[in-house]
Amino acid sequence: MDGYHEHPTVCIPLLAQGDTLGVLHILSENSEKGTFDGPLATSIAEHLGLAIANLQLRNNLRQQAIRDPLTGLYNRRYLTEVLEQTINQAKRRNNMIAVCMVDLDHFKKFNDSFGHDAGDLVLKKVADEFKSCSRVGDIACRYGGEEFCLVFIDITEKNALYVAEKIRNRVKELELNYKLKPLGRVTLSMGLSIYPIHGTSASELIQLSDKLLYQAKAEGRDKVVLGSINIDAT
């Protein structure tokens, strides 16, 4: 409280469940020396500490409900809630969005050869690449197992393909080691669909992207397959 030494002041820690969340500073506008109502100030600090703790708990529970605990990416539940809203916003703004389904090629070999901890390491490192390549507003989601879904907001078909290829190449260049043992290269198969070119609903875009993903696997893996206007998502 430097500079306010002529005013009566008090500092009270904000506590909740044994944790210090902050400090409540109270400064009197009266320059005359005086005393504070100690019990009242303490009571205010206690209520503020509990209120902040409750907000933090609520936020933590929300994050646990929408985040994958291993990778820190959004989960499938969140994608289901948000993708349709994102499409509606794109419709109002006359924007395009891209939905990219991603699968790690031959992921089972990491678990079988090095153990599940090594497999978890691979998932986390790949997820980190998804995060680093995502812009504000984009969505990176762990769809299930080794399958992911990426949503690129306000993007053209050409740029969406560029970003998908960039992600594929960056993951392929990862040099991963577990317990001083190299794990080998990680490659991705990716299916990419564009709103509104290839579909106008979340289910249409996801179904088509998933179909294109399996097409990428059938064509040798380690590639991005972009949807065409004529391809059938059913």
Say how far apart CA 152 and CA 163 lie, in whole Å: 9
Beta-sheet strand order (sheet of 147-152): 74-75, 139-144, 147-152, 97-104, 188-195, 223-226
DSSP state of 156: -
Neighbouring C-beta atoms of residue 82, cutoff 10 Å:
16
Start-to-end CA distance of the chain, whole Å, equals 67
Say how far apart CA 170 and CA 186 lie, in whole Å: 10
Q: What are residue 109's phi and psi, to 5 degrees?
A: -65, -30
- The catalytic site residues sit at 146
Site of tokens 């978890």: 120
Residue 167 in tokens = 């992600």
Strands, E assignment, 2-49: 9-16, 19-27
Number of H helices, E strands in the chain: 6, 10
Longest dimension (CA), the chain: 82
Say how far apart CA 115 and CA 158 lie, in whole Å: 39
Q: Is the peptide bond before 39 cis (omega within 30 degrees of 0)?
A: no
